[in-house]
Chains A and B, each alone.
Chain A
Amino acid sequence: MAYSDRVIDHYNNPRNVGTLDKTAQEVGTGLVGAPECGDVMRLQIRVNPETQVIEEAKFKTFGCGSAIASSSLATEWIKGRTVDDALAIKNTDIVKELSLPPVKIHCSVLAEDAIRAAIGDWKKKNGVGESAPAAAAAAH
């Protein structure tokens, strides 16, 4: 099975690889894994407390090329969005953008889960509830 050019691009030049201080108040950390393939993915966001805009996003993924590309793309997409906006990103968007084959769809699911987990962690830390249920519902 051949990887698409977009996957190879993200795999060779992953965007936003790195670490944010997970103890910082404005940082949310999402750690997710897929037991089927052993992939593990950490995605972190730094959120502006005033605007709720994700100003920085970093990831570190141990897994296949599609998993790395999915998380790389996810960090690119969520940067500059508000947290509620970021929650609207669906794994199918990632599948489309990267032309992932059916057997690799779970990589995109993992990336979406990582976004949710990071935002969830940030919300918990900062006592933010589901402020925009309409947006959250639309994301499902």
Chain B
Amino acid sequence: MTNALDSAIPVACWSCHVAQNDVTLFCPHCSKIQPAAAGDFFQVFGLRRAFRIDPEELEREFHRLSRKLHPDRFARASEREREWSLADTALLNDAYRTLKDPLYRTEYLLKLEGAEIGEQHAGKNRQDPSRVPPDLLEEVFDLNLQLEEMREAKAAGEADPVLQANLKEAKTKFEGLVEAVDEELRRQWKVWDEGNAQAREPAKTAMVRLIDRRRYLSNLVRDVTETLGA
């Protein structure tokens, strides 16, 4: 996905032929629409790769570019340009959806930076026990047992107030742990955004682990919420 960028071969605007180093939806020189290139989502908005972005600025830029890409503006353009406007709109929407969500954005940028997250790396790093949150295993296991008990009690039409209270307490606790992960993620964002290559590597590794941990925790919160609410 990033190959087109890594090659660093300047692409010339099809209309004015001025070379562009960045992937842009419109030529900065002659303002003509450009075909959607295999760029990264940050470049779509003219942003540097960073974990921290200004959400308001992102939204403004999204609306500005959306208006510029509106089909009405291409009613009398060439067929080629009309097609590009559709493809660019799809790219813009994908980019906006990904970047505006802090978690999607974090995962996306980590992947851009070569990190493997989620099922991608499952089973590969088995020599690295730190990927598994062992401090939580016991609690996670017990919580799952309680959830199972609760579901069975419900299926039998019984209500167990003690169990229910336990699960509510567990839910609050795990929500707190998710919040702690998010706080640490924000700290690592800053380290990466402001650091040099040397500082970025450990921050990247830390964030991959935090994302793993967060997924684990938020799945649990989801399961508890479902069981309590159903």
Residues of B within 8 A of A36 (CB): 118-119, 121-122, 212, 215
Q: Which of A88-111 contact B (CB under 8 A)?
A: 103, 105-106, 109
B140 is an interface residue with CB less than 8 A from chain A: yes
Q: Which of B74-82, B89-97, B129-137 contacts A (4 or more CB under 8 A)?
A: B129-137
The listed residue (B131, B138, B144, B145) touching A35 by CB distance below 8 A is B131
Interface residues of B (CB under 8 A from A): 118-119, 121-123, 126, 131-134, 136-138, 140-141, 144-145, 148, 212-213, 215-216, 219-220
The answer to whether A40 and B137 touch (CB under 8 A), given A35-B216, A106-B122, A106-B123, is yes
Give the residue among B118, B126, B131, B213 with the most A Cβ atoms within 10 A.
B126
A62 is an interface residue with CB less than 8 A from chain B: yes
Question: Could you tell me if A62 and B141 are in contact, using CB atoms closer than 8 angstroms?
Answer: yes
The answer to whether A31 and B137 touch (CB under 8 A), given A105-B123, A109-B123, is yes
Question: Could you tell me if B140 and A40 are in contact, using CB atoms closer than 8 angstroms?
Answer: yes
Chain A nearest CB: distance from B164 CB in Å? 20
Kindly state the separation between the CA atoms of A31 and B141 in the bound complex, as whole angstroms. Answer: 9
Kindly state the separation between the CA atoms of A113 and B212 in the bound complex, as whole angstroms. Answer: 19
How would residues 69 to 98 of chain A score, 1 for a CB under 8 Å from any chain B CB and 0 otherwise? 000000000000000000000000000000
A38 is an interface residue with CB less than 8 A from chain B: yes
Give the residue among B122, B148, B219, B220 with the most A Cβ atoms within 10 A.
B122
Count residues of A near B (Cβ-Cβ below 8 Å).
17
Question: Could you tell me if B137 and A35 are in contact, using CB atoms closer than 8 angstroms?
Answer: no
Kindly state the separation between the CA atoms of A32 and B131 in the bound complex, as whole angstroms. Answer: 11
Give the residue among B118, B132, B136, B215 with the most A Cβ atoms within 10 A.
B132
Residues of B within 8 A of A38 (CB): 215-216, 219-220
Residues of B within 8 A of A34 (CB): 122, 132
A32-B132, A36-B215, A113-B126 known; 9 other A-B pairs, CB under 8 Å?
A33-B216, A35-B132, A35-B133, A35-B215, A35-B216, A36-B119, A40-B141, A62-B148, A106-B122
